[in-house]
Structure 1
Amino acid sequence: MAVFTGIWVPLITPFAQGEVDHAALRRLVARYRQAGVAGLVALGTTGEPSTLSEVEQDAVLATVLAAAEGLPVVAGLSGNDPAAMLPRLRQLGTLPLAGILVPAPYYVRPSQAGILQFFTTLADASPHPLVIYDIPYRTGVRLEIPTLLALAAHPNIKAVKDCAGSLDSTLALVRDGRLAVLAGDDLQMFNNWCLGGQGAIAATAHVRTEEFVAAWRAIQAGRLAEGRAAYLRLVPWIQAAFMEPNPAPVKYVLAREGLIQNALRPPMLPVSAESAARLDTLFAS
C-alpha cells in the first residue's frame, strides 16, 4: 500500500497536428518527476483515453514509463464488459506498472452485487494491484460502503481514488484502513488529508505542482496551519480548473506556459474565450 501515497498527477495527453505529441509528454513527465510527485497516472480520464486507439495508448504508456525513470506509474483501464477487458488487463500486466486504475462499469448501472463481481473478476486476473476509481457522476453508479469494504478484503485491491463526494464513504474507508484513500475531488483534498487520506490523484496538480506537494507534505508532517495556508492559495486555481470540462482548462494553462499546444480531441474542445480570459487574469497575478 505504501506506494499509493502523496501527490499523483493524472497526465494529460498532449496533441500536435492531430497526433500525440510525445516530445511534450516526455517534458511533462520530467517536470513532474523533478517537482517531487509520488507517481503518475497515464490514460486516466484527464488523458482523454477514449479518443486514443490502442496503438496510441500503448505508445503513450511506453513514453511515460521511459520518461518516469522509475517513478511509479498507474495505467487507467475502463469498460463495462469484464470479459472484454481481461485481454487488455493481461497485456498491461507485461509492463512495469505500479497499478491499474479502474472505474465501476459505466452506463449499464449494475447492482452492487454486479459491481462487486466486476472488480473481483479484474482483481483476480490482474498481475498488478487495482486502484478503484469511485466516480459516480461519470459512471452512473455509486459504490456503496458495504461494497467498498468487501472489495477492501481482496488482496489485489490496494487503493481507491475517492471522487464519490460522500463524507460517509471517505470516513468508512479511512477508519477501515485497508485501502489507501487518494482524494480525487480536488476541492476536497485538504478535508480528505485531515481525515487521514493518503494523498491525491489531482488533475490540478499539473500546474503549480510544487505547491501541491508542499501542502501535502506539511499536512503529513503535522504542520496543519502551513498546509492549510498552502492549500488555500491553490483554491482559486482549483476552482477555475473545472469551469469547463477537464482537461480543457488544464491544457490551456499548460499551453499558456509554452509546454504543450492547446489541443484536445473531439468531443472535447478547448476552453472558450471567456474562460481563457479568466485564466489569463488568474495567472497574471
Structure 2
Amino acid sequence: MPTLPVPTLTALPASATPAGFAGLWIPLVTPFAADGTVDHAALHALVLRLKPAGIAGYVACGSTGEAAALDHDEQLAVLDTVLQAAGRLPVVMGVSGYHLGQMQRWIATLCGRPIAGLLVPPPSYVRPAQAGLLHWFRTLADTATVPLVLYDIPYRTGAVLAADTLLALAAHPNIRAIKDCGGDPQKTAALIADGRLQVLAGEDAQIFGSVALGAAGAIAASAHWQTERFSALLRLLAGQRLAEARILWHGLLPGISALTAEPNPAPLKALLAQQGLLENVLRSPMMAASEALEQRLAALASSD
C-alpha cells in the first residue's frame, strides 16, 4: 500500500491536552516474549513510539491488550510500565468482571495509581436486566475515585445497554464517556445529541461516521498503524474539513479492513511484529493471524 498523504498539521487545530476523553486513544497491545511472559521493554518502547503522534492518551489492559489472559499482578505491572512511559499523557485502565465485590476491591487498588479513568464493560455471561446494569455501573462509579468510561460491546459481554439505560447513567457525575461498540446507530446518535457522555467510536470502521456526527473521538486499535494519520483525521473532522478528511479516511480503510479481518489483536500483533516492534506471540485461546492475512499485512508494514 502506498504511503498515505497527511494534511499540513500546522494548519489543523492544535492537539493540546484533550477536554475529558476527547481525541484519539490507543488501546495498547500487551507484547509477550517468546516464553510467554510480558515483554515490558517492548511495551515501554511502543508507548514512547506512539507518544508524539498527536494522540490523546492510552488504554491499558483492554481487550486489545489480552487482559483476560493476564492475572492481576501482571495487569498492575503492565499499567505501571505504561504510566511510566506515558509521562503526561493520560492512561485509562480496562477493568472487567462479574463479581461486584471483587470488582470494587480491584477498582480501589487501581485508583491508587495515577490513572485518568477506568474503561468498564457490563458483566460478561450474566446478562442482567437493565435495572441490574444500572445498579452495576452506579455502584462501580460510586466506588471509583476516577471517572468511568462505559464500554458498550454486546458481542463480547452478551449484555445490551439500552439507550434509556445509558441516558440514565449519564446523570451520574462520575460516568463521563462511552466506548461505543454497540452497533446501533440510532443509540449512538441519541447519545451524541444528549451531550452528557463523550462518545468514543470503538469500532474502527465507524470512526468517520461517528465523529462526523459529533462523537468526541475514538479508541482505535488500528491506530497503532499510521497513528499520525488517524490523529489528523479526527482533527480534520473536528475542524469540519470534510473533503480532506474523506480522502484521508479512504486511504486508511484498507488497513482497517486488514487489521480487523481476524480476531483482535492477532492481526495487529502480526503487523507490529513485521515492523520489528514486538514478538508475534499471543496467549491461548488467542491464536496468531493466518499466513494469508500475514501476507496481506506485509504490504501495510512496508508502507511505513
In structure 2, which of residues 191, 206, 212 is the aligned counterpart of residue 173 of structure 1? 191
What SS does the corresponding residue of 2:126 show, helix, strand or coil? coil
Q: How does 1:267-282 map to 2 (within 5 A)?
A: 267-282=285-300
In structure 2, which of residues 94, 108, 113 is the aligned counterpart of residue 76 of structure 1? 94
Q: Does the alignment pair 1:204 with 2:205?
A: no
Q: Does the alignment pair 1:191 with 2:214?
A: no
In structure 2, which of residues 15, 23, 28 is the aligned counterpart of residue 6 of structure 1? 23
Where in structure 1 are there 5+ consecutive unaligned residues?
none
Match of 1:118 in 2: 136
* Identity level (%): 55
Tell me how far 1:177 sits from its aligned partner: 0.2
What SS does the corresponding residue of 1:47 show, helix, strand or coil? coil
Tell me how far 1:223 sits from its aligned partner: 0.8
Tell me how far 1:173 sits from its aligned partner: 0.4
What TM-score results when the alignment is normalised by the length of structure 2? Answer: 0.92
Q: Distance in 1 between matches of 2:282 and 2:121?
A: 22
Task: For 1:53, give the aligned amino acid.
Answer: D
Match of 1:26 in 2: 44
Match of 2:279 in 1: 261
Question: More displaced, 173-182 or 30-39?
Answer: 30-39
Tell me how far 1:282 sits from its aligned partner: 4.5
Q: Distance in 1 between matches of 2:171 and 2:149?
A: 13
Change (3 A) 1:32 1:281: closer
What SS does the corresponding residue of 1:155 show, helix, strand or coil? coil
Tell me how far 1:34 sits from its aligned partner: 1.2
Q: Distance in 2 between matches of 1:132 and 1:196?
A: 18
Q: How does 1:11-160 map to 2 (within 5 A)?
A: 11-16=28-33, 17-160=35-178
Q: Distance in 2 between matches of 1:88 and 1:191?
A: 35
Greater length-normalized contact order (CA 8 Å, ≥ 6 residues apart): 2
8 Å contact kept, 2:275–2:301: no
Q: Distance in 2 between matches of 1:181 and 1:91?
A: 27
8 Å contact kept, 2:32–2:38: yes
Tell me how far 1:281 sits from its aligned partner: 3.7
CA deviations on 1:85-139 (whole Å, 9 max, x unpaired) are 1110001111111100000111011001101110001001101100000000001
Match of 2:231 in 1: 213
Q: Distance in 1 between matches of 2:41 and 2:177?
A: 31
Number of corresponding residues: 285
What TM-score results when the alignment is normalised by the length of structure 1? Answer: 0.98
What SS does the corresponding residue of 1:58 show, helix, strand or coil? helix
Where in structure 2 are there 5+ consecutive unaligned residues?
1-17
Q: Distance in 2 between matches of 1:37 and 1:141?
A: 30
Match of 2:259 in 1: 241
